[in-house]
Amino acid sequence: MTRANPLVIEGGEVKLRLMAERSAHQTPVHIDWVRFTCLLRNAPAPSADALFPMSGNPMPLPDRGYWRDCDQPLSYRQAQWSKVLKDIPNAEFVPSAQALDLAHEICKALGKDFSVFPEIRKGHDFYKSRWSIERAGSECGWVGFLASGDSPRQSAQALTIHANLYGHACTFAEPGWNQRIADIVDDHDAKLTRADLALDFFDGMQKSMGALPDDYRAGLFDVNGKRPKVSQAGDWINGAERSLYIGSKQAGKQTNVYEKGDQLFGPASNSPWVRIELRYGNKLRVLPSEMLRRPADFFAGASDWHALQLAQADHISAGQTCPTEKALPIQTVKAEVTRNVRWAINTAKATIATCFEFMSLEEFHDLINWKVSKRPGRLQRFSSSDLAQAFTGVMSTFSTVESTGPAFA
């Protein structure tokens, strides 16, 4: 059975929370969804509790209803997490522990009402497993880890951890949560893959929903002289539960203007509440963490129409664009990675091996610390996920690791 959306159940409280957030953050733009991915090597190091699970026999796991209360002692929950980790196969232990620690970091950033459910659940979006982030007994986010298959693409995915925070989490998080999540993204050199920026008109927009198709035909949604795609959903004849979609997910920028009051309270409520939801994705774009810190700037930068709507909400912003970037074929990334590895084999292999043999581990770590060293010039234009995919299996392209030709970088 599909669980009811907590935002619909708590519709009245949602409006109060959003209004309180406006006052606390001094901006009418609310972040309504966040997703980000980081490499395992940049994820939190497993904590001592994870590396050395509690000995003995922890208390048996209680029924699920007990966990919904979120009143159990922290020591009890730690015992249960330890029990789960002790049963994980060795090959999956470290990613599981790292994902758990990231989930804890996220809960701390969201606030005291959020916790990690102490069971590993089946993963989403091709991740094998997930830790669920919950509030008031409902899942409002998750952290995925390991891959559900062994294809080359999923082998690269297995080297990452992914966090997904739903609107429920974003709405009921404590003030300043967006700044704290942005810090987590930066601390772990993560890639922001989705950010939804919402502007609410609780008493309705200056123009009615019915006028929006005419505005579209008049070119008010055009960007740089180009007219975005458009589609409609809902009952436009009777004026209920209407949505207008401008742009596309494939382009990484889509705006949904819809009757939020109808969604939360039903058409019979005659609620005038309209939401403009700008959905940024990382297809063809690089989403900076500043998007979480300054959502109004990136909302205004989407188009002149978006800036006008923000002004009508009594907020002026200079606007910050998030332009598209030409996608680089994976073959291009692999070619550059192969050249770089070949140079390492032909030129630097003996030096690296000698350093590893005679340096202490701490000294060798300082030598190769990727967090403080720039990438080679050929590889700086590629994203971490592209490089992770390209480096997977790269050594198999060499028939021998001995020097076979001139070195180059």
> What pLDDT is attached to residue 59?
39
- Alpha-carbon span 35 to 47, nearest angstrom: 24
In angstroms, the CA 272 to CA 242 distance is: 12
Low-confidence winner among 144-148, 250-254, 297-301, 330-334 (lowest mean pLDDT): 330-334
pLDDT tens-digit series, residues 292-327: 999 999 999 999 999 999 999 999 888 999 888 765
In the prediction, which pLDDT does 401 show? 38
Asked whether the predicted pLDDT for residue 369 surpasses 60, the reply is yes
Cα 324 to the center of its chain, rounded Å: 18
Residues comprising the chain, all counted: 409
Name the pTM for this structure: 0.73
> Phi then psi for 279, rounded to 5 degrees?
-105, 110
Residue 104 and residue 245: Cα distance in Å, rounded? 35
**139 is written with which tokens?**
């899942």
**Higher per-residue confidence, 188 vs 388:** 188
Q: How confident is the model at residue 17 (pLDDT cuts 50, 70, 90)?
A: confident
Is pLDDT above 60 for 364?
yes
Tell me the one-letter amino acid at 407.
A
Cβ contacts of 175 within 8 Å, gap of 6 or more:
20, 21, 24, 25
Name the DSSP letter for residue 287.
B
Instruction: Decide if 106 contacts 141 (C-beta within 8 A).
Output: yes
Return all residues near 203 (Cβ < 8 A) that are at least 6 apart: 272, 273
pLDDT of residue 311: 95
C-alpha 121/C-alpha 1 separation (Å) is 17
Residue 290, Cβ neighbours under 10 Å: how many?
15
| Cα(288)–Cα(322) distance, integer angstroms | 8
> Would you state the structure tokens that stand for residue 340, as one six-digit string?
């770089």
Rounded Cα distance between 18 and 13, Å, is 9
pLDDT digits (tens, 9 = 90+) for 204-255: 999 999 999 999 999 999 988 999 999 999 999 999 999 999 999 888 999 9
**Structure tokens given for 376:** 């080679």
Q: Residues 8, 9, 12, 18: is their CA dihedral positive or negative?
A: negative
What are 196's strand-pairing partners?
33, 279
Look at the block and give the residue holding tokens 């509790």: 49
How confident is the model over 109-134, as pLDDT tens digits? 999 999 999 999 999 999 999 999 99
Under the banding of pLDDT at 50, 70 and 90, the label for residue 82 is low
Q: What is the pLDDT of residue 340?
A: 84
CA 205 to chain centre: 30
Indicate the helix (H) or strand (E) that contains 63.
Answer: none
Contacting residues for 395 by C-beta, under 8 A, at least 6 apart:
341, 401
